[in-house]
């Protein structure tokens, strides 16, 4: 062991560079942050050779005079914080004073900069951390940092770089992220002499998303907020229910302009979308959270990617509330075409049809249907009291059953407006939640078969059943899978009693395979398997009498989530009086 000694500056910078400058994209990230901190309105990014050839960022920000520029290249030289107290309330992207010296220590580095009020600029050249020329330069106000031959003097680091495609993807992502964080700043991104993005200054996240990903992508998004709660403000754009992606590549979270990853934020998002999302599907999210800089610690990760909140649960709650608000508002709008379809199907065929204009037939038809059986007694349907307390977000506890629409749907009048309920979806939803509760202890009743059924299934189907034996058992099935392809069924859950066990298992396997197909690989999670079971239940809505219809509504009201099924398919649509007024026009 050698003596402890103070490292020479260049070595220390290279060590720091190991943390700050992981790859070409980290250089661009740091340079962009500096430009943004310098108040740039226009930023140009140019890269060549996946970043190992050239990395250059030019801005029209405040610029630096000579003395200042040379200082900026020293370790821990920062103009952004002066005291430890400042560190507790960082308002800038950078604050450690490490980026410039770190980058300069592992590259051929050139800084050209000029403050707006100076007649000439300065050029500073650094190679592998050694200061080279410092001279006057004719340049526009602002700053250009040019980085060539990144890692030329740290071959180990260079070896760790991934393929050009991967490094390029990281570069693209960093530019995209900055552009989304600061819509008001114009960006021009050039890669290998070709323009990738030319983004004019935008009025907000909406137009910026449209410029980056196209107008259709923008149209799939809802606006969130600005929603203020818990001392922070949340704004942005999120996917409409039902619009999802296979990965999280369109999820961006910004805290005071800084792109972050944080468990509390993702938890808030998950809670807001709850079961609207299929397993393995993700919404697009561009979310800006503004908060007191004192309430967030940015100094917990070398690349400043993670943050720690003073009050994480408050952030989660604010995110959830903001997203839920937007999703709720969107719901009515999203459902309107569904209503039109349902209403079109609801035209009672036996009704003496007075001649009427072909256009605008749907909505008056619905009014007629809704107002139809007025003679029915106005009995109220209430959910069982015990379960009511447990279910959150319950807007209305009571509904009056108006009647059945086209056999399958029920029409209800609630305190807030009209409700349309799909009996089949309701039935399956109720079963699904019953199966979920089954795991938590309450038994699901099973019917034993008189004789066990033994049969073969094709390999894929057999495997789908075998993979989900635990869920099937908790759902009241008694199934054994033997080697080869055979199955033995000894009991079915009560709601499938009397069905052909072989058909039931075939249908279950088909549901599983279909569910899995949507997700590219991997088995089903327990809830998905339970949903597959619930979907096996056939529902003869037409055979329900009024008493049974009410029982169905009551059971649905006792459900945890009664108006949304998986992926946004509606079990129950609610139209507020205001929406109805809007649909029919005020008169
Ligand atoms: P930090 O951003 O943490 O302060 P850096 O090493 O990234 O540290 O930058 C050091 C200093 O150089 C900054 O504090 C800033 O004053 C100055 N600087 C860096 N880049 C620019 C730029 N593009 N425009 C103006 N000043 C800059
Ligand atoms: Mg910086």
Residue by residue, DSSP assigns 95-129 as -SS-HHHHHHHTSEEEEEEE-TTSSSEEEEEEETT
* pLDDT score at 449: 92
DSSP state of 397: S
* pLDDT score at 547: 86
Q: Would you say residue 255 has pLDDT above 90? A: yes
* pLDDT score at 393: 32
More confidently predicted of 371 and 442: 442
Longest dimension (CA), the chain: 101
pTM of the shown model: 0.61
Among the ranges 19-28, 142-151, 236-245, 470-479, which has the highest mean pLDDT value? 142-151
**In angstroms, what is the span from residue 161 Cα to ligand 2's centroid?**
23
Mean pLDDT score across all residues of the chain: 80
Rounded (10°) angle between helices 312-345 and 362-371: 100
Q: What percentage of residues in the chain have a pLDDT greater than 90?
A: 40
Closest C-alpha to ligand 1, atom 1? 97
CA 132, CA 69: separation in Å to the nearest integer? 14
For residues 451, 452, 458 and 461, what is the CA-based torsion angle, rounded to 10 degrees? 120
Give the number of whichever ligand sits closest to the CA of residue 299.
Answer: 1
**In angstroms, what is the span from residue 31 Cα to ligand 1's centroid?**
8
Among 13, 27, 94, name the best residue to mutate to test ligand 1's pocket (greatest count of ligand atoms within 8 A of Cβ).
94
**In angstroms, what is the span from residue 70 Cα to ligand 1's centroid?**
11
Q: Which of 241, 280, 277, 285 is closest to 260 using CA atoms?
A: 285
> Of 239-253, 423-437, 565-579, which gets the smallest average pLDDT?
565-579
**In angstroms, what is the span from residue 72 Cα to ligand 1's centroid?**
6
Closest C-alpha to ligand 1, atom 2? 94
CA within 13 Å, CB half, 334: 21
pLDDT band at 84 (very low <50, low <70, confident <90, very high): low
Average pLDDT over residues 419-434: 87
**In angstroms, what is the span from residue 96 Cα to ligand 2's centroid?**
7
Instruction: Give me the residues near ligand 2 (ion), CB cutoff below 5 Å.
Output: 34, 94, 99
CA 161, CA 33: separation in Å to the nearest integer? 23
**Helix (H/G/I), strand (E/B), else coil: 242:** coil
Cα–Cα separations (whole angstroms), residue 585 to 239, 334, 336, 340, 578: 29, 19, 14, 15, 10
Average pLDDT over residues 454-478: 91
* pLDDT score at 556: 78
**What's the chain's Rg over C-alpha atoms?**
31
Q: Which positions ≥6 away from 201 have C-beta within 8 Å? A: 41, 42, 183, 184, 185, 186
CA 97, CA 13: separation in Å to the nearest integer? 11
pLDDT band at 97 (very low <50, low <70, confident <90, very high): confident
Place of tokens 């001279």: 135
Tokens, residue 141: 């106000």
> Of 337-351, 385-399, 502-516, 531-545, which gets the smallest average pLDDT?
385-399
Closest C-alpha to ligand 1, atom 17? 72
Cα–Cα separations (whole angstroms), residue 230 to 47, 313, 411, 515, 549: 42, 10, 39, 39, 43
**Over the stretch 107-142, which tens digit does the pLDDT of each residue have?**
999 999 999 999 999 999 999 988 999 999 989 999
Q: Would you say residue 383 has pLDDT above 80? A: no
* pLDDT score at 342: 45
More confidently predicted of 275 and 287: 287
Q: Specify whether the CB–CB gap between 253 and 322 falls below 8 A.
A: no
**Range list of H helices, 155-214:** 155-159, 164-181, 205-213
**Over the stretch 152-166, which tens digit does the pLDDT of each residue have?**
998 888 888 888 999
* pLDDT score at 491: 94
Q: Would you say residue 223 has pLDDT above 70? A: yes
Q: Specify whether the CB–CB gap between 392 and 320 falls below 8 A.
A: no
Place of tokens 């309105």: 41
Among 30, 58, 78, name the best residue to mutate to test ligand 1's pocket (greatest count of ligand atoms within 8 A of Cβ).
78
Q: Specify whether the CB–CB gap between 481 and 433 falls below 8 A.
A: no
Give the number of whichever ligand sits closest to the CA of residue 144.
Answer: 1
CA 18, CA 181: separation in Å to the nearest integer? 26
b/e code 437-457 from CB counts within 10 Å (16+ = b): ebeeeeebebbeeeeebeeeb
* pLDDT score at 381: 45
Pocket of ligand 1 (CB under 6 A): 30, 34-35, 38, 59, 61-64, 72, 77-80, 94-100, 143
Closest C-alpha to ligand 1, atom 19? 34
More confidently predicted of 195 and 412: 195
**In angstroms, what is the span from residue 419 Cα to ligand 2's centroid?**
55
Among the ranges 187-196, 244-253, 372-381, 410-419, which has the highest mean pLDDT value? 187-196
Please state the atom number of ligand 1 nearest to the C-alpha of residue 92.
Answer: 2
**In angstroms, what is the span from residue 68 Cα to ligand 1's centroid?**
9
pLDDT band at 571 (very low <50, low <70, confident <90, very high): confident
Residue 171 phi, psi (nearest 5)? -60, -50
DSSP state of 83: S
pLDDT band at 175 (very low <50, low <70, confident <90, very high): very high
**How many angstroms from the chain centroid is the CA of residue 53?**
35
DSSP state of 276: G
**In angstroms, what is the span from residue 55 Cα to ligand 2's centroid?**
16
CA within 13 Å, CB half, 110: 15
pLDDT band at 514 (very low <50, low <70, confident <90, very high): confident
Place of tokens 């020329």: 133
């Amino acid at each position: 062991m050698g003596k402890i000694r103070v490292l020479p500056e260049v070595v220390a910078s290279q060590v720091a560079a190991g943390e700050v400058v992981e790859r070409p994209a980290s250089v661009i990230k740091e340079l962009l942050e500096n430009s943004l901190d310098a108040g740039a309105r226009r930023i140009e990014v140019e890269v060549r050779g996946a970043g190992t050839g050239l990395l250059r960022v030019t801005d029209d920000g405040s610029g630096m005079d000579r003395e200042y520029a040379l200082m900026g290249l020293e370790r821990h030289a920062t103009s952004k914080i002066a005291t430890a107290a400042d560190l507790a309330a960082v308002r800038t992207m950078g604050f450690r004073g490490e980026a410039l010296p770190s980058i300069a220590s592992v590259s051929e580095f050139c800084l050209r900069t000029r403050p707006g009020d100076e007649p000439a600029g300065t050029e500073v050249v650094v190679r592998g951390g050694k200061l080279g020329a410092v001279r006057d330069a004719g340049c526009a106000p602002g700053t250009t940092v040019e980085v060539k031959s990144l890692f030329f003097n740290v071959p180990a680091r260079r070896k760790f770089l991934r393929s050009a495609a991967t490094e390029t993807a990281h570069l693209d992502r960093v530019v995209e992220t900055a552009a989304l964080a600061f819509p008001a700043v114009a960006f021009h991104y050039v890669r290998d002499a070709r323009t990738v993005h030319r983004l004019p200054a935008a009025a907000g996240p909406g137009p910026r998303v449209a410029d980056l990903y196209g107008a259709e992508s923008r149209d799939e998004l809802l606006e969130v907020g600005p929603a203020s709660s818990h001392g922070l403000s949340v704004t942005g754009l999120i996917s409409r229910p039902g619009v999802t992606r296979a990965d999280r590549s369109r999820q961006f979270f910004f805290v005071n302009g800084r792109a972050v990853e944080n468990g509390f934020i993702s938890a808030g998002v998950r809670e807001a979308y709850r079961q609207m999302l299929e397993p393995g599907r993700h919404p697009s999210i561009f979310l800006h959270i503004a908060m007191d800089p004192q309430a967030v610690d940015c100094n917990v990760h070398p690349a400043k990617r993670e943050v720690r909140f003073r009050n994480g649960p408050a952030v989660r709650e604010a995110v959830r509330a903001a997203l839920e608000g937007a999703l709720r508002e969107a719901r009515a709008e999203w459902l309107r075409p569904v209503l039109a379809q349902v209403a079109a199907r609801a035209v009672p065929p036996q009704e003496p049809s007075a001649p009427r204009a072909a256009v605008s037939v749907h909505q008056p038809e619905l009014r007629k249907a809704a107002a139809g059986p007025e003679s029915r007694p106005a009995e109220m349907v209430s959910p069982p009291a015990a379960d009511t307390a447990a279910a959150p977000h319950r807007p209305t506890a009571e509904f009056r059953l108006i009647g059945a629409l086209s056999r399958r749907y029920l029409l209800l009048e609630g305190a807030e407006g009209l409700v349309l309920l799909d009996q089949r979806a309701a039935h399956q939803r109720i079963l699904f939640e019953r199966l979920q509760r089954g795991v938590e202890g309450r038994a699901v009743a099973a019917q034993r078969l008189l004789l066990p059924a033994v049969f073969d299934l094709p390999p894929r189907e057999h495997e789908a059943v075998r993979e989900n034996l635990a869920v099937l058992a908790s759902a009241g099935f008694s199934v054994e899978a033997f080697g080869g392809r055979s199955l033995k069924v000894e009991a079915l859950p009560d709601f499938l009693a009397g069905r052909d066990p072989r058909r039931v298992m075939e249908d279950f396997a088909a549901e599983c395979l279909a569910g899995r197909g949507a997700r590219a690989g991997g088995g089903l999670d327990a809830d998905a398997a339970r949903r597959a079971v619930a979907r096996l239940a056939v529902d003869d809505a037409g055979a329900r009498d009024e008493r049974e219809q009410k029982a169905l509504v009551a059971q649905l009201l006792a459900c945890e989530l009664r108006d949304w099924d998986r992926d946004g398919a509606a079990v129950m649509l609610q139209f507020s009086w205001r929406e109805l007024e809007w649909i029919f026009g005020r008169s």
